[in-house]
Amino acid sequence: MFQSPMEISIDEDHTLNPPKKRFRVPDVVVSELDEKKIWLQKVATETIAGDATPSSVVYVSDGYEAVVRHEPFEVFVRERSGDRRRVVSLNSHGLFDFEQLRKKNEGDNWEEKFRTHTDSRPYGSQSISFDVSFYDSSFVYGIPEHATSFALKPTKGPGVEESEPYRLFNLDVFEYEHESPFGLYGSIPFMVSHGKSGKTSGFFWLNAAEMQIDVLANGWDAESGIALPSSPEPKDVVKQYASVTGTSAMPQLFATGYHQCRWNYKDEEDVAQVDSKFDEHDIPYDVLWLDIEHTDGKRYFTWDSVLFPNPEEMQKKLAAKGRRMVTIVDPHIKRDDSYFLHKEATQMGHYVKDSSGKDFDGWCWPGSSSYIDMLSPEIREWWGGRFSYKNYVGSTPSLYIWNDMNEPSVFNGPEVTMPRDALHVGGVEHREVHNAYGYYFHMATSDGLVMREEGKDRPFVLSRAIFPGTQRYGAIWTGDNTAEWEHLRVSIPMLLTLGLTGITFSGADIGGFFGNPEPELLVRWYQVGAYYPFFRGHAHHDTKRREPWLFGERNTQLMRDAIHTRYTLLPYFYTLFREANVTGVPVVRPLWMEFPQDEATFSNDEAFMVGNALLVQGVYTKGTTHASVYLPGKESWYDLRNGKTYVGGKTYKMDAPEESIPKDRFRRSSSQMDNDPYTLVVALNSTQEADGELYIDDGKSFEFKRGSYIHRRFIFSKGVLTSTNLAPPQASLSSQCLIDRIILLGHTSGPKSALVEPLNQKAEIEMGPLRMGGLVASSATKVLTIRKPGVRVDQDWTVKVL
């Protein structure tokens, strides 16, 4: 059952007359939460042995209550019945400390030096520290972004080799190391625990300043924030978090396909050649990307007039094939008085200031640069207007945006970022808003694309920096990884962590951004990456070209097959993106989210679930021809390569040849699949039952919010497959698409025919090897396939297996 989160706020003691208000992070918590908020009232008092004053007991939700101890201070949530076990608590170890903002007097020396940089710290040290305890929990997860295991490793404690705490501080990290607690490009202070009981708890600390988190020492060290603890089942906790920070934006269909990127495709001829090569090699893709070299001297919203003289024509040629283009727009603006954007931003006072009040001047790709102050809603609205066709000359409706370097990256700044004492609107120091800067930049860009299309089409914006709420504005990727097997492996726990903390539309650069992947590594990366929510190949400009057709025919075929698999599964992925949009449950999930009481899944971060039906096990070692695969639960599992059946709850040694993924019909891009028929794959359980869903809309507009969509449920029971409507009565979308095949995995009765109602006709039926488009399984396993039942995807019908 869905439970409500509980909110705790910590603020200054205003009787001490602090020099300014403690910063509260705006525009992250969704407005609906305030509308639904119920102020908790004391329902009882309770005296705890040794306390000076009675504790207050408040109702949280059905089955749970909170106890507030006053002296000593502690807050804990517990079950209301039985032995009233604790679920999560705050300050049970007495580590709470709150440093008040102070006025600087003559003689005070609060400055802090970092190499050649000096932080003036005008209000002194202003940290908050406390401890959080999870009960009946085996593992904790979350607090991205780190290149480390999914289950967080302890940093302190008995028998533990002490290590650095996990750091949350957005930074531009060059060739980051795996298995490190060092913070990367984003920060989400949301931690989730899970244990043998199958129950899950979470704790969210809304804070945009730097944080240090020790695991097992139970210490959080931060500079400001609001906390929201929660419980009980895995998906419920994710839904609770989504009720606070929002669910994922519904992407356009094209964005869920394959993206081809490089720093940089050098000119229009290069773009045309890459595009034509995809067609020549029968490889579908949806988006071609341009990095910073497409601009006029790193001036964003411009084009190099020699290399890209006809940008609109270039985009229209791609659009004619149903393809899109993405260009990069970063937050650093070249300080050039002849540059229209810099001139306007300067005149309007839209830049972040340095500690003296002057426009901050830092160094990035264009050289001397200033940074738009995205904390201001008015400046964000102005920024959004830069994406209009009038202001972004050469852009078309098929052009979308990539926000990079938005941590923000400042090459000559402390730790390659903005000084902590830089100033935003309202006198807010950068230290207070740092981790949210990229989030506001992402928000403003996304809102700008919505403005550009007058609210008709959904935006697509990729961001490198992340913060709670990022999921409402677009996709992210894991940054500048490396062409190493370990970076392929660590991409899985990184994406699982992101999904668990709200950011489901995420991916890693296929093949690694830095370095030159050997063909085997690149093939294996495509085979795993085909199941990433965001599927993009990308590479540094110093690497060798690595488009899929450059490694010999066999490797081209393997990468082609991997990309074909993604397009075969697009309807499934799109349905899962809709689930994430409605509920917050991620597309890619840890095994324990679907099997919460299976302890063997709790630390497994090499396999993952795509939705509730598909388990993916990657290959992360060179020369591997077999993989050890644990199949959780007690029901049957089916190998989609051949239809072979396995019993859950066991580990199997399975063949893992490079030719190991299914494929089906394909098109040049997702938009050319609009009228293709569907194949339903029905995996039956031990009682010969199954169910699943399919979501369809127009793939681009916001009309789905007004009921223009198809949502079907398919149930197989007692030998009958039934299609029923899950959309509301006012849902208006229809489709002429047919169900082409129904594949029944695990059907045992040996049927001879299938009756289709209400058409009152029989469908063709066969028992034979599993066939998925061009692939025919070599296994002797036989599966039942119903061919051409003649039913539409948007209608009620039944198919009875006789």
Q: Which residues are catalytic?
A: 404, 407, 480
Secondary structure element (H or E) that encloses residue 190, with its range? strand 190-194
Q: Smallest Cα–Cα separation from 171: which of 527, 421, 420? A: 420
CB-neighbour burial class of residue 97 (10 A; exposed 0-12, middle 13-18, buried 19+): exposed
What span, in angstroms and rounded, lies between the C-alpha atoms of 200 and 230? Answer: 9
Phi-psi sector, 677: left (phi>0), alpha (psi -120 to 50), beta: beta
Rounded to 10 deg, the angle between the 268-280 and 311-319 helix axes is 10
Q: Smallest Cα–Cα separation from 446: which of 526, 521, 529, 387? A: 387
Neighbours of 172 (CB within 10 A): 23
Dihedral sign for Cα atoms in the order 582, 586, 589, 590 = negative
Residue 448 contacts residue 383 (beta carbons within 8 Å): yes
Q: Smallest Cα–Cα separation from 538: which of 255, 278, 260? A: 260
Dihedral sign for Cα atoms in the order 83, 89, 93, 97 = negative
What span, in angstroms and rounded, lies between the C-alpha atoms of 205 and 222? Answer: 9
What span, in angstroms and rounded, lies between the C-alpha atoms of 70 and 705? Answer: 46
What span, in angstroms and rounded, lies between the C-alpha atoms of 149 and 180? Answer: 9
Residue with tokens 């980051």: 176
Chain-centroid distance of CA 674 in Å reads 26
Residue 598 contacts residue 632 (beta carbons within 8 Å): yes
Dihedral sign for Cα atoms in the order 274, 276, 277, 278 = positive
Secondary structure element (H or E) that encloses residue 226, with its range? strand 226-230
Chain-centroid distance of CA 390 in Å reads 32
Residue with tokens 């419980």: 231
**b/e per residue, 42-72, with b = 16+ CB within 10 A?**
eeeeeeeeeeeeebbbbebbeebbbbbbeee
Number of residues in the chain:
802
Backbone φ and ψ of 338, nearest 5°: -90, -5
What span, in angstroms and rounded, lies between the C-alpha atoms of 317 and 649? Answer: 52
What separation, in Å, do the N-terminal and C-terminal C-alpha atoms of the chain show?
39
Residues 6+ apart with CB under 8 A from 550: none
Residues 6+ apart with CB under 8 A from 152: 139, 140, 141, 142, 143, 166, 191, 215
Secondary structure element (H or E) that encloses residue 771, with its range? strand 771-772
